[in-house]
Amino acid sequence: MVVSQGAHICASSHDLRDPHFQLVLRPVRIAAGCWIAAEAFVGPGVTMHERAVLAARGALFGDAQADTVYRGNPATAVKPRGMRAD
């Protein structure tokens, strides 16, 4: 896994219905071979499956499928990662 400069991984939020605005924990899962590029944001409760990529400044709020590249805000799948054979 690679997490580039300025990226944010956010594993919590707040309950907007609670008058005390209590913290709600939602773990983030990042599998082997993933890349979270510069200044990207991974939101609470997200799972990035094996070798998924989130492009620079992307904002991921739903799960990322394996071997898929995501970009934008909100991030959407744009292409398969297409790993090279050595």
CA dist 85 → 36, 82 (Å) = 22, 9
pLDDT score for 52: 98
Where does the pLDDT of residue 84 fall: very low under 50, low under 70, confident under 90, or very high at 90 and above?
Answer: confident
- The percentage of the chain sitting over the pLDDT mark of 70, rounded to a whole number, equals 100
What are the structural domains, with CATH classification, of the chain?
Answer: 2-14+23-76 (2.160.10.10)
Rounded to whole angstroms, the Cα distance separating 51 from 33 reads: 4
Rounded to whole angstroms, the Cα distance separating 57 from 74 reads: 10
pLDDT of residue 86 exceeding 90, the answer is no
Compute how many other C-beta atoms are within 10 angstroms of the C-beta atom of residue 10: 13
Q: Are strands 75-80 and 68-72 parallel, antiparallel or unpaired?
A: antiparallel
* Tens of pLDDT, residues 56-67: 999 999 999 999
pLDDT of residue 77 exceeding 90, the answer is yes
Mean pLDDT, to the nearest integer, of 67-80? 98
